[in-house]
Structure 1
């Protein structure tokens, strides 16, 4: 139904990495709206990052502000906006790469929900308790919480307001950590409004202790003293970590002025690290010069950080502490498998299903209870091992899928045993204006982000536990700089041209599984005569329409049951 003004978001903005991803997102949004899967009466927009340098989610935030002003003039400052960062190509969860993390399917709903619907549902109470401004979230995390009947999460204070969740100290090392103001924080109850003295971005545990961020569970108002700590003490300690945050329009306008003055942004800005570290009375500009792991191309970063610090310094960082809450991240193959198939808290809290909007035989041996089947058709006779996820796929009667596998967008109609820990994802690609198919296959444990600078070092890259150099020899693929698609000096699995282009979806699956079989059994399987693509190239020439057509065919067949 159409939402009434004031009861929902005025505008939902989704970021994309580039124009190609923007088109893919727009196509999926249009399909959702046509099927009535999203609330009507809301402005939905997709904004691709400008071409050129990567600008990070902070740069994307600034670019979205510019786009909103271009579209709506001054009117945009009266909107209540949900901004979802979904740019990037998800190298740690490649089945979300082609069509976007925000469109990741969940084992829930009939028809299935995707992350976008879950985000809108999770935040459904926020807009009616929010002054005009922008709520910023990422597309691969889930925040669940419980509050008292009379307690309300309200975003009505000037400056920034962030949600905070109690987390183990090790979690804090990979997230933002709030150093809460002890004079305004009691640590009692399920929900508490307080202020942040200082924000730490991915600090080590020693820094958390030195800055007074570590608390004792059950007595969260008392910071822990520094010094030696036993394992039992560590278990009882926590820090408050970040998730989503809100900024009012006065701040947004200041950031937009800064963005316009920059003319062209040539570095990656982190919306969390580079915005929030400037806030609170305890903020210092030390972080602005921390350029470890920064390339020469991003020499502008220090200057940008210092300017942001000067703009935001003194701005309050309000914190809404949710003591009965949990933050979940689903951005890697391991997290994806764990939360969807194990007895995880998330599976229990969301009531995730082992079969969501799918067709499969009711035979007891077809499907292990810990497996997760999402909008797929499993023909009688196939077997799915424990801990595996099958999404948007058609599995034939003579297929045996091992444990802890991810099968996405594939049509498997041959007699085959798919080994445990296999990641298989098929894409439609447009080659010379013709629709073709390519299927990537890896281990769920392979590191697609790893790269080496020298061709002589590619032996250190691992494909399903075997040196890539050995795999290339089995496949008859020569080692040269032409083997890799990227212009960068990094050579890795992401850019290795190893996957054959085929004329049918099922044939591409057969070829890739034969490649894997040859590696596991040390038997030659030559790829002569095939055009080979890297994952990077598969994504750049993907045919979104054909991929969605395959999903729609499965959807229609399930609806007819």
Structure 2
């Protein structure tokens, strides 16, 4: 959360505008050799996700929303155990080798990790985090286009190799008009951003070799002595990763991550994306070929970067405190990676005038789109983006945010809420801090503050069906318990989940959950009704929420019920894309008529 940033940065806005303009000129046009990426690859967790990504890439190519003459690929993780973004990186390297042989050693490649199920931002679960819509552009940008725009200068100043990034973050930076970020050194090269120590505890932190940071340039090139992954504040101090703002730097950083820091405050340099040259990529591929099969989660940042630099030690391989699931072979695999990469340099591009924004949770998503004037100014985000809706309301600096939607002028959308790819009628009232995605609401409806609503098209036994996910934006879908008697510790819309089951007349039994019966969570709870129409699906889920709010009974026993986990297995990507396309065409026609 970036609530403590107090000023938007004009230099970042200008730099961002230039990149967006340049990318806009390339959309739908063939790119010259060396002008853009040779390959853009997206990772997917399974075959369903792979299919969804390929479908959306195909649609983007048809609509000329992406540069042409580029190889766009989706690389799917092998079936079986989760392998993390580090494992996905290894799989992608193997796919590149199979597809291109020795040719790929001359390519510039962008690898975007988007293989998660987005349990912290479920509106992105069905079609993927990298296809998250932004209130920007015409047609609207999704995260993929924004990534390509923000990295527009990189390929022409990069030696052959791979740039690795994640699907749910945004890096903005300002440097001199005639300066460029170069990725031309052997080994790995990472970007570094000034951040508070509290931010450092949730990111990677660089222990940098001495460099002349007293000159406060926009960009500095140095080396990393050691990389710390999610360190404690005490560890940052012990490892000499902490810098102190002086009278000049406190002025220099105004508008950056440290804008809120006072004179003599402390800061660290945190990570975002990284580059590896072809030789380093071949090292990792050789490691993957040697082990044959991966059965544990490897982190591309924590497990690759911590092995780099002269100060790297093998101790981190035994630290599993940041691991969500500790497999028996994890420590052994980490140690083997360490010895494969040991001695490889980690170069760092220090971007003193930069910001790193994360969009991975419902809280971050709502804040950045409706309340954060910094990112709104720096990226040019709009309260109404390619939509029909005249009545934006504002309160205490918050606005609502409407993205590619058709909203009746009599509908009320409270400040702090986001509506995307939806149709809302005149008798709909949306409370504050809600997320509405892919929904159709034409009947009278009142959504309580902090409601989440996301409709998903399903193909079940050859028939098109619909289901709408509904819960509170602060509900923790990932939290799980091992036995039914512990369900009382789960909360749905701030209420004990057991009480909700009672209201819905659902019995507490193992069959209430899909998938792993020792990990019971809201994610795999079979509580969402399947309906024959999109509008019925939304209405039914709203009645579920209303029953909880009013503590009245709503019997779900008469419906076929699915968990979110099952919805993603049954999702009908083509129908969801068609629905969005219909909204797009109607908005386009409306805009043409209003221009006459």
1:266–1:297 Cα contact (<8 Å) kept: no
Among 546, 556, 567, the alignment partner of 1:527 is 556
Counterpart check, 1:73 vs 2:131? no
CA distance in 1, matches of 2:64, 2:503: 50
CA distance in 1, matches of 2:394, 2:270: 43
Q: What's the CA shift string for 1:23-42, capped at 9, x where partnerless?
A: 00000000000000000000
Query: Which position in structure 2 is the counterpart of 1:307?
Result: 336
CA distance in 2, matches of 1:219, 1:289: 41
CA distance in 2, matches of 1:363, 1:487: 44
2:510–2:517 Cα contact (<8 Å) kept: no
1:297 CA drift (Å): 6.9
Among 524, 529, 544, the alignment partner of 1:495 is 524
Query: How many residues get paired?
Result: 551
1:168–1:235 Cα contact (<8 Å) kept: no
Cα 1:234/1:446, change in 2 over 3 Å: farther
Counterpart check, 1:110 vs 2:138? yes
3-state SS, counterpart of residue 560 of structure 1:
helix
| Segment drifting more, 58-67 vs 374-383 | 374-383
1:292 CA drift (Å): 3.5
Counterpart check, 1:543 vs 2:572? yes
Q: What's the CA shift string for 1:119-161, capped at 9, x where partnerless?
A: 0000000000000000000000000010112322000000000
1:105–1:114 Cα contact (<8 Å) kept: yes
1:365–1:383 Cα contact (<8 Å) kept: no
Among 158, 163, 186, the alignment partner of 1:158 is 186
2:394–2:400 Cα contact (<8 Å) kept: no
Q: What's the CA shift string for 1:225-247, capped at 9, x where partnerless?
A: xxxxxx98797210000001000
Cα 1:424/1:519, change in 2 over 3 Å: same
State the TM-score, normalizing by the size of structure 1.
Answer: 0.95
3-state SS, counterpart of residue 117 of structure 1:
helix
Cα 1:411/1:232, change in 2 over 3 Å: closer
Counterpart check, 1:418 vs 2:447? yes
Cα 1:548/1:235, change in 2 over 3 Å: farther
Cα 1:276/1:369, change in 2 over 3 Å: closer
Query: Which position in structure 2 is the counterpart of 1:227?
Result: none
CA distance in 1, matches of 2:208, 2:353: 17
Among 392, 401, 413, the alignment partner of 2:421 is 392
CA distance in 2, matches of 1:276, 1:260: 20
Among 198, 202, 206, the alignment partner of 1:170 is 198
Query: Which position in structure 2 is the counterpart of 1:408?
Result: 437
Cα 1:25/1:488, change in 2 over 3 Å: same
Query: Which position in structure 1 is the counterpart of 2:360?
Result: 331
Counterpart check, 1:273 vs 2:302? yes
Cα 1:261/1:186, change in 2 over 3 Å: farther
CA distance in 1, matches of 2:299, 2:276: 15
Q: How does 1:77-96 map to 2 (within 5 A)?
A: 77-96=105-124
Query: Which position in structure 2 is the counterpart of 1:42?
Result: 70
Query: Which position in structure 2 is the counterpart of 1:470?
Result: 499
CA distance in 1, matches of 2:393, 2:494: 33
Query: Which position in structure 1 is the counterpart of 2:273?
Result: 244
Counterpart check, 1:260 vs 2:289? yes
Cα 1:220/1:499, change in 2 over 3 Å: farther
Cα 1:187/1:93, change in 2 over 3 Å: farther
CA distance in 2, matches of 1:292, 1:172: 16
1:474–1:518 Cα contact (<8 Å) kept: yes
CA distance in 2, matches of 1:429, 1:232: 49
Q: What's the CA shift string for 1:323-370, capped at 9, x where partnerless?
A: 00000000000000000000431111011101000012459799x970
Q: What's the CA shift string for 1:255-287, capped at 9, x where partnerless?
A: 111101111100110000000000111110001
Q: How does 1:21-32 map to 2 (within 5 A)?
A: 21-32=49-60
Query: Which position in structure 1 is the counterpart of 2:208?
Result: 180
Cα 1:393/1:537, change in 2 over 3 Å: same
CA distance in 2, matches of 1:138, 1:324: 21
3-state SS, counterpart of residue 205 of structure 2:
strand
CA distance in 1, matches of 2:393, 2:474: 29
Among 400, 403, 407, the alignment partner of 1:374 is 403
Q: How does 1:277-288 map to 2 (within 5 A)?
A: 277-288=306-317
3-state SS, counterpart of residue 508 of structure 1:
helix
1:18 CA drift (Å): 0.6
Cα 1:282/1:220, change in 2 over 3 Å: farther
CA distance in 2, matches of 1:6, 1:67: 22
Among 68, 83, 105, the alignment partner of 1:55 is 83
CA distance in 2, matches of 1:218, 1:405: 42
1:294 CA drift (Å): 5.3
Cα 1:331/1:524, change in 2 over 3 Å: same
Among 195, 204, 212, the alignment partner of 2:240 is 212
Cα 1:483/1:99, change in 2 over 3 Å: same
Q: How does 1:504-519 map to 2 (within 5 A)?
A: 504-519=533-548
User: Which runs of no fewer than 5 residues in structure 2 stay unpaired?
Assistant: 1-28, 250-259, 591-596
CA distance in 2, matches of 1:232, 1:273: 27
1:289 CA drift (Å): 1.1
Cα 1:283/1:365, change in 2 over 3 Å: closer
2:394–2:415 Cα contact (<8 Å) kept: no
| Segment drifting more, 353-362 vs 293-302 | 293-302
Q: What's the CA shift string for 1:442-482, capped at 9, x where partnerless?
A: 11110111111110010111111111100001101110011
Query: Which position in structure 2 is the counterpart of 1:289?
Result: 318
Q: What's the CA shift string for 1:279-338, capped at 9, x where partnerless?
A: 111110001111346588721111111111111111110000000000000000000000
Counterpart check, 1:554 vs 2:583? yes
Q: What's the CA shift string for 1:8-49, capped at 9, x where partnerless?
A: 100000001111100000000000000000000000000111
Among 125, 146, 149, the alignment partner of 2:153 is 125
